[in-house]
């Protein structure tokens, strides 16, 4: 990212959500460092790191000795066949699962189990593998519910109605409208979420996760079930969110072609183990990945067609 736009972006983002960014940007990504010549994503300490994570369900080893580091502002993909442990990893990062072994370090603090009920306060937001919208609420209310943790209301759908003060309500509404605009959802703002086509519902989920401007965004198959053009649109939005808000992204996605084009680094899981980790080109050419995951796919075209082992 050009340094000038980086600095301007930080200022813009700081105005937009001062408390998130005061707390949210890791040391290496503070605005004053933008004057150095080293891109923040490569210079800074990891925003998230997993060390020696192990997790079993009965006899099933979902995760075995997983190390993973995620740098600030990075788009970090996790790929692997069905059952490889990808969702389990996101569930460990978000505190839904407590690993049997290992530690999660998030912005410098270490956890044996991340406090999932405090996730939003830690600046972490996620989407789920299956749609998890309030189908009978408007798009606006769904997205605003991503701010529910900030206001003293007790039900997400009422955020805009019974926030503590008029200023708080106005602030929530303005943030929500800005995100709707940013993700090109303004035209469906007042529609019931359940009436939208699937691809748009996935985008509303992204909006809900982004509205609080998390420093870390966990996306579990945000493009699953989409057409090729919807996927590429979604990939553009994820990239734009990172560029505009400096959001660090951990992304699970089946479409290897999309992942190769979108990600800075890719970790490959197979049967709960990490079998490769690196830049897209390194992973693409890794023999273990080709053998275990990409199967017979042997050229870029094949890689982009969801081929390889069943379940990719
Ligand atoms: N809550 C759970 N209870 C029992 N088994 C689980 C649970 N979650 C995941 N698993 C098992 O762990 C393995 C990894 O699953 P998952 O993380 O969902 O894989 P992926 O997301 O890569 O498809 C699978 O064998 C799955 O059946
Ligand atoms: Mg999964």
User: Of 107-111, 264-268, 299-303, which has the strongest mean pLDDT?
Assistant: 264-268
Which residues, in sequence order, are CB contacts of 123 under 8 Å at separation 6+? 20, 23, 24, 107, 214, 215, 216
Q: Whose CA is nearest to atom 7 of ligand 1?
A: 57
CA atoms of 276 and 289, how far apart (whole Å): 7
Ligand 1 atom showing the smallest separation from residue 272 Cα: 14
Q: Whose CA is nearest to atom 9 of ligand 1?
A: 88
Average pLDDT over residues 156-174: 67
Is residue 255 over pLDDT 90? no
Ligand 1 and 88: CB distance under 6 A: yes
Q: Whose CA is nearest to atom 3 of ligand 1?
A: 57
Ligand 1 and 311: CB distance under 6 A: no
Q: Which of 59, 61, 62 to mutate to test the pocket of ligand 1 (most atoms within 8 A of CB)?
A: 62
Average pLDDT over residues 162-176: 76
Average pLDDT over residues 204-224: 95
State residue 189's pLDDT score.
96
Is residue 164 over pLDDT 80? no
Ligand 1 and 62: CB distance under 6 A: yes
Q: What is the pLDDT of residues 13-56, one digit of tens each?
A: 332 333 333 333 333 333 333 333 334 445 578 999 999 999 99
Is residue 142 over pLDDT 60? yes
How far does residue 204's CA lie from ligand 2's centre (Å)? 20
Length of the chain equals 312
Can you name the residues that pair with 274 across neighbouring β-strands? Answer: 269
SS3 4: helix
Which residues, in sequence order, are CB contacts of 155 under 8 Å at separation 6+? 148
Q: What is the pLDDT of residues 83-109, one digit of tens each?
A: 999 999 999 999 999 999 999 999 889
Which residues, in sequence order, are CB contacts of 59 under 8 Å at separation 6+? none
How far does residue 26's CA lie from ligand 2's centre (Å)? 29
Is residue 150 over pLDDT 70? no
User: Of 29-43, 63-77, 114-128, 256-270, which has the strongest mean pLDDT?
Assistant: 63-77
Ligand 1 and 254: CB distance under 6 A: no
State residue 275's pLDDT score.
95
Q: Which of the residue ranges 158-167, 214-223, 301-310 would you say has the lowest mean pLDDT? A: 301-310
Average pLDDT over residues 164-172: 75
SS3 31: helix
CA atoms of 235 and 226, how far apart (whole Å): 11
- Contact present, 217 and 125 (Cβ < 8 Å): yes
pLDDT-derived band at 289, boundaries 50, 70, 90? confident
Ligand 1 atom showing the smallest separation from residue 252 Cα: 21
CA atoms of 47 and 27, how far apart (whole Å): 9
Ligand 1 and 85: CB distance under 6 A: yes
How far does residue 222's CA lie from ligand 2's centre (Å)? 11
Mode of pairing for the β-strands spanning 273-278 and 109-111: unpaired
State residue 168's pLDDT score.
75
State residue 196's pLDDT score.
95
CA atoms of 96 and 157, how far apart (whole Å): 23
Q: What percent of the chain has pLDDT over 70?
A: 73
Tokens of 266: 């890719």
How far, CA to CA in Å, does 78 sit from each of 44, 105, 269, 279? 21, 18, 7, 12
Closest CA to 70 of 89, 97, 56: 89
Q: Whose CA is nearest to atom 26 of ligand 1?
A: 83
Which residues, in sequence order, are CB contacts of 231 under 8 Å at separation 6+? 223, 255, 258
pLDDT-derived band at 158, boundaries 50, 70, 90? low
pLDDT-derived band at 151, boundaries 50, 70, 90? low
Ligand 1 and 83: CB distance under 6 A: yes
Q: What percent of the chain has pLDDT over 90?
A: 58
SS3 37: coil
Which one is predicted more confidently, 207 or 42? 207
> Which parts of 169-241 are beta strand (E)?
216-220
Ligand 1 atom showing the smallest separation from residue 269 Cα: 22
State residue 208's pLDDT score.
95
Closest CA to 85 of 295, 293, 278, 279: 293
Q: Which of the residue ranges 144-153, 279-288, 301-310 would you say has the lowest mean pLDDT? A: 301-310
Closest CA to 289 of 30, 78, 53: 78
How far does residue 187's CA lie from ligand 1's centre (Å)? 38
Tokens of 177: 């409208």
SS3 54: strand
State residue 23's pLDDT score.
33
């Amino acid at each position: 990212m050009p340094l000038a736009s980086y600095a301007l972006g930080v200022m813009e983002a700081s105005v937009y959500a001062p408390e998130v960014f005061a707390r949210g940007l890791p040391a290496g990504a503070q605005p004053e460092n933008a004057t150095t010549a080293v891109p923040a994503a490569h210079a800074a300490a990891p925003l998230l790191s997993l060390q020696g994570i192990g997790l079993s369900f009965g006899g099933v080893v979902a995760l075995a000795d997983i190390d993973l580091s995620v740098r600030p502002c990075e788009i970090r993909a996790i790929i692997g066949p069905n059952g490889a442990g990808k969702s389990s990893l996101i569930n460990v990062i978000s505190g839904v699962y407590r690993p049997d072994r290992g530690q999660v370090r998030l912005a410098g603090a270490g956890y044996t189990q991340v406090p999932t009920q405090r996730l939003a306060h830690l600046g972490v937001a996620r989407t789920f593998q299956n749609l998890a919208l309030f189908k009978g609420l408007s798009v606006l209310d769904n997205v605003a519910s991503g701010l529910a943790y900030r206001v003293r209301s007790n039900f997400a759908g009422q955020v805009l109605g019974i926030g503590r003060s008029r200023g708080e309500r106005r602030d929530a509404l303005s943030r929500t409208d800005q995100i709707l605009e940013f993700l090109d959802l303004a035209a469906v703002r007042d529609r019931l979420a359940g009436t939208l086509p699937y691809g748009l519902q996935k985008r509303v989920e992204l909006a809900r996760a982004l509205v609080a401007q998390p420093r870390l965004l966990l996306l579990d198959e945000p493009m699953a079930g989409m057409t090729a053009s919807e996927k590429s649109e979604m990939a553009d939005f994820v990239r734009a969110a990172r560029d505009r808000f400096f959001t660090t992204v951990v992304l699970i996605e089946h479409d290897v072609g999309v992942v190769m084009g979108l990600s800075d680094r890719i970790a490959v899981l197979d049967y709960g183990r990490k079998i490769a980790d690196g830049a897209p080109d390194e992973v693409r050419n890794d023999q273990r990945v080709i053998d275990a995951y990409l199967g017979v796919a042997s050229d870029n075209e094949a890689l982009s067609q969801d081929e390889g082992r069943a379940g990719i």
